[in-house]
Chains A and B, each alone.
Chain A
Amino acid sequence: MQREGLGERRLNANIAVDARNVGKIYGTGNDAVTALGDVSISIEEGEFFTLLGPSGCGKTTLLRCIAGFETPTSGTIHLSGQDITYTPPYQRPVNTVFQSYALFPHLTVALNIGFGLKMQGKPAGDVARAVARVLALVKLEDFADRLPQHLSGGQQQRVALARALAPEPQVLLLDEPLSALDLKLRKEMQSELKRLQTETGITFIFVTHDQEEALTMSNRIGVMSQGALLQVGTPHEIYEHPVNRFVADFIGETNFLDGDVDGTRVRIGTGDLLDVKLDGQTGPVTLAIRPEQITLGASGGGIDVTVIEKTYMGTDTHYTLGLSDGSQMIARVPSGFAGAFALGDTVGISIDSKAVQVLKS
């Protein structure tokens, strides 16, 4: 598979949003805070693109720059080839689903949804038809005349979505829209969002700190940290081939083992040699090993470890394993297999070495 570089685009795709060297610094002099370093990213038309990262990583700032609520301190933002860096938000064919929904409390559901079209100067008949169509799309036909405060959180979420979709924007921005919902509703809305994105064909830029959400919904993910874009790729690429320790750690559970390159293999702290896929690295490296890539077996077969902790998780059982050099690893084993080992047992583990990522230390 072809690896994609940062912000690089696939061939033959039209670019919806093109951010070039975007930086945002708040304050001046000694008080200056860099919210966004030097971010370049190309988001394709019709793509479900997720900006993923911990809070304060700059993902929301980038989204607000695209929406027009913030002006970048440096760099440019293009929308379908047009420079919109300094265009006011009300002149951008971009709509936002806010984290707090920000529904107009004095307007009914229908008037909330029709607000954008009305402000664009569309005739009343067109507005009514569009509102009816979008209400059907989010399955809220029966709530058109309600006020937002008389709706549940999930319903308000749908109204916010419908309101942003009604003017048929070129790009829909979603700022952690699911964070206020409970788990079950969040799962429902995830597939709902995915369905809406496929049906409308609108480019979605979705901001979240939830890696699972990002993996299940996105066509591509951009992982951010401390104002920088670390990696852009498909969920599979990000999960299987994280570029550094931060990405590996942030996306799913990962065990890190320090080691040194020894010829074509890596010697870890216990003295064992692991036959991993090297890409020209030398000297000290860090191995990133997913918990499901570890297989437990009888002592003597592979690396000997001690079972320190055992947690039953339903489908899987998590084992915390102690290595002879004092480091620990977590292994995820299907629960059907779980009875075999008890606390204190010495177990031999084998690692699917082809799946191990070798990162620079």
Chain B
Amino acid sequence: MNQSGGQFSKGVSGWLLSTPALILLVFAASGPLLIVALYSVLEKGDYSGVRWVLSGDGWFRVLFERDIFDQSVSLADANLSIFWRSVKLSITTTLITFVLGLPTAWFIATRPAKARAFWLFLITIPFWTNLVIRTFAIMEVVRNEGILNTALINIGLIPQPVQIMYTDTAVLIGMAYVYLPLMVLPLYAAIDRFDFRLIEAGYDLYASRVQVLRGVILPIIKPGIIAGCILVFIPSLGAYVTPRLLGGGKNMMIGNFIELQFGQGQNWPLGAALSTVLLLIVVMSLVVYTRVSSRDNPHG
């Protein structure tokens, strides 16, 4: 047997070996996306589902609405505000988790090796509990008769309960709580690899504490920051349980709005179109992120 023959068969067997993964990728990842994209351009069924007729109505309704009486077209303000609120809450959640997560990750990474495992274990404990139960726990904290308000009233800081439940604040508290570990873990991984002697080098070269943070620490742990932000921002944008339970019916996010179309709204094409828009927002933000992070290279 000659050598090239051996390499050829190796190439073929390589493809054969990756077949299960490829099948999984096609059917489990790309397939459902294609179905969603297809449903978004079909006509709405009478009660639910779709009629197999091509229609742009689903996409039209993402941005516009038609008056029931005079059929005049106007921008769908309600939809736009839901999109805007989702993006705003997701960015805020990402910022909150970063501000809380950086010192936390720093603290863990600077502990002795044995203690680090313990602290990391504490960080991962919430993952073992169902999301709904964790969200109910947050409800118990922030509701009017909850722990927070009772405590504040008892120490005399406020005369009556502050309405936190069913506001954007409650949603933010809930999401920051749920997604904080997703920020801490990649930050920890980056800080763990950080050479702390560089901080001394920074101080030695006349950099103040803030300058060392901005000029040395943050640029070096940037991959961890980017990973953490992506890991928090993307699920925040599609969050469903947390805004549903803590935000109530009025403070919807995209996830709840999509669910509404497939449930009570009985408008599957609109739901599918909204899902595709959500996907596009995620892809766009990823592209922007990659551009931004590759732009400030060491030569600039």
Our verdict on whether A and B bind, yes or no, reads yes
**Residues of A near any B CB (own CB < 8 A):** 67-69, 88-91, 94-96, 98, 100, 102-108, 111, 115-116, 119-120, 145, 147, 163-164, 167
Q: Could you tell me the distance between the alpha carbons of A253 and B264 in the complex, rounded to whole angstroms?
A: 93
Please give the distance in Å from B73's CB to the nearest CB on chain A. Answer: 52
A108 with B299: CB separation less than 8 A: yes
Q: Could you tell me the distance between the alpha carbons of A145 and B299 in the complex, rounded to whole angstroms?
A: 7
Q: Which residues of B contact A106 (CB under 8 A)?
A: 219-220, 222, 298
Residue of B204, B220, B299 ringed by the most chain A CB atoms within 10 A: B204
B298 with A111: CB separation less than 8 A: yes
Segment from B16-24, B205-213, B229-237, B253-261 that makes contact with A:
B205-213
Q: Report if A95-B204 is in contact (Cβ < 8 Å); known contacts: A106-B298, A111-B298, A147-B298.
A: yes
A116 with B205: CB separation less than 8 A: yes
Identify A104's interface contact among B198, B200, B211, B222, CB under 8 A: B198
Identify B197's interface contact among A91, A102, A145, CB under 8 A: A102
B201 with A98: CB separation less than 8 A: yes
B204 with A96: CB separation less than 8 A: yes
Cβ contacts B250-281/A at 8 Å (1 or 0 each):
00000000000000000000000000000000
Q: Is B67 an interface residue (CB 8 A)?
A: no
Q: Which residues of B contact A107 (CB under 8 A)?
A: 298
Please name 24 pairs of A and B residues whose Cβ atoms are closer than 8 Å in the assembled complex, sorted by A.
A89-B203, A89-B204, A90-B203, A90-B206, A90-B208, A96-B201, A98-B200, A100-B195, A100-B197, A103-B201, A104-B198, A104-B201, A105-B220, A106-B220, A111-B298, A115-B205, A116-B204, A116-B205, A119-B206, A119-B211, A120-B206, A147-B298, A163-B205, A167-B206
Q: Which residues of A contact B203 (CB under 8 A)?
A: 68-69, 88-90
Identify the closest chain A residue to B219 (Cβ). A106
- Chain B, range 160-199, C-beta contacts under 8 Å to A: 195, 197-198
Q: Could you tell me the distance between the alpha carbons of A44 and B202 in the complex, rounded to whole angstroms?
A: 27
A102 with B298: CB separation less than 8 A: no
B298 with A67: CB separation less than 8 A: no
Q: Which residues of A contact B208 (CB under 8 A)?
A: 90, 119
Please give the distance in Å from A323's CB to the nearest CB on chain B. Answer: 50
Q: Could you tell me the distance between the alpha carbons of A119 and B205 in the complex, rounded to whole angstroms?
A: 7
Identify A167's interface contact among B205, B219, B298, CB under 8 A: B205
Identify A102's interface contact among B201, B206, B215, CB under 8 A: B201
A89 with B200: CB separation less than 8 A: yes
Q: Is B216 an interface residue (CB 8 A)?
A: yes
Please give the distance in Å from B195's CB to the nearest CB on chain A. Answer: 7
B207 with A90: CB separation less than 8 A: yes
Q: Report if A108-B298 is in contact (Cβ < 8 Å); known contacts: A89-B200, A98-B200, A102-B200.
A: yes
Q: Which residues of B contact A164 (CB under 8 A)?
A: 204-205
Q: Could you tell me the distance between the alpha carbons of A89 and B200 in the complex, rounded to whole angstroms?
A: 8
Q: Which residues of A contact B211 (CB under 8 A)?
A: 119
B220 with A115: CB separation less than 8 A: no
Apart from A90-B208, A115-B202, 6 more pairs, CB < 8 Å = A102-B201, A104-B216, A106-B298, A107-B298, A147-B298, A167-B206
Q: Which residues of B contact A104 (CB under 8 A)?
A: 198, 201-202, 216, 220
A102 with B299: CB separation less than 8 A: no
Cβ contacts B3-34/A at 8 Å (1 or 0 each):
00000000000000000000000000000000
A69 with B298: CB separation less than 8 A: no
Please give the distance in Å from A146's CB to the nearest CB on chain B. Answer: 10
Identify B207's interface contact among A68, A100, A119, CB under 8 A: A119
Identify A116's interface contact among B197, B206, B220, B298, CB under 8 A: B206
Query: Nearest 6 CB-CB pairs, A to B?
Result: A116-B205, A102-B201, A119-B206, A89-B203, A119-B207, A102-B197
Q: Could you tell me the distance between the alpha carbons of A67 and B197 in the complex, rounded to whole angstroms?
A: 14
Q: Could you tell me the distance between the alpha carbons of A282 and B195 in the complex, rounded to whole angstroms?
A: 56
Identify the closest chain B residue to A120 (Cβ). B206
Q: Report if A67-B219 is in contact (Cβ < 8 Å); known contacts: A106-B298, A107-B298.
A: no
Please give the distance in Å from A295's CB to the nearest CB on chain B. Answer: 51
Q: Could you tell me the distance between the alpha carbons of A104 and B197 in the complex, rounded to whole angstroms?
A: 10
Q: Could you tell me the distance between the alpha carbons of A300 and B58 in the complex, rounded to whole angstroms?
A: 116
Q: Which residues of B contact A116 (CB under 8 A)?
A: 204-206
Please give the distance in Å from B213's CB to the nearest CB on chain A. Answer: 13
A115 with B200: CB separation less than 8 A: no
Q: Could you tell me the distance between the alpha carbons of A268 and B204 in the complex, rounded to whole angstroms?
A: 54
Please give the distance in Å from A240's CB to the nearest CB on chain B. Answer: 37
- Chain B, range 209-250, C-beta contacts under 8 Å to A: 211, 215-216, 219-220, 222
Cβ contacts B50-77/A at 8 Å (1 or 0 each):
0000000000000000000000000000
Please give the distance in Å from A29's CB to the nearest CB on chain B. Answer: 20
Please give the distance in Å from B45's CB to the nearest CB on chain A. Answer: 56
Residue of B195, B202, B203, B206 ringed by the most chain A CB atoms within 10 A: B206
Please give the distance in Å from A107's CB to the nearest CB on chain B. Answer: 6
Q: Which residues of A contact B201 (CB under 8 A)?
A: 96, 98, 102-104
B205 with A95: CB separation less than 8 A: yes
Please give the distance in Å from A202's CB to the nearest CB on chain B. Answer: 15
Q: Could you tell me the distance between the alpha carbons of A69 and B198 in the complex, rounded to whole angstroms?
A: 12
Q: Could you tell me the distance between the alpha carbons of A188 and B201 in the complex, rounded to whole angstroms?
A: 25
Identify B198's interface contact among A89, A90, A91, A102, CB under 8 A: A102
Please give the distance in Å from A55's CB to the nearest CB on chain B. Answer: 18
Q: Could you tell me the distance between the alpha carbons of A120 and B211 in the complex, rounded to whole angstroms?
A: 11
Cβ contacts B275-300/A at 8 Å (1 or 0 each):
00000000000000000000000110
Q: Which residues of A contact B219 (CB under 8 A)?
A: 106
Q: Which residues of B contact A102 (CB under 8 A)?
A: 195, 197-198, 200-201
Q: Which residues of B contact A119 (CB under 8 A)?
A: 205-208, 211, 215
Q: Could you tell me the distance between the alpha carbons of A111 and B205 in the complex, rounded to whole angstroms?
A: 12
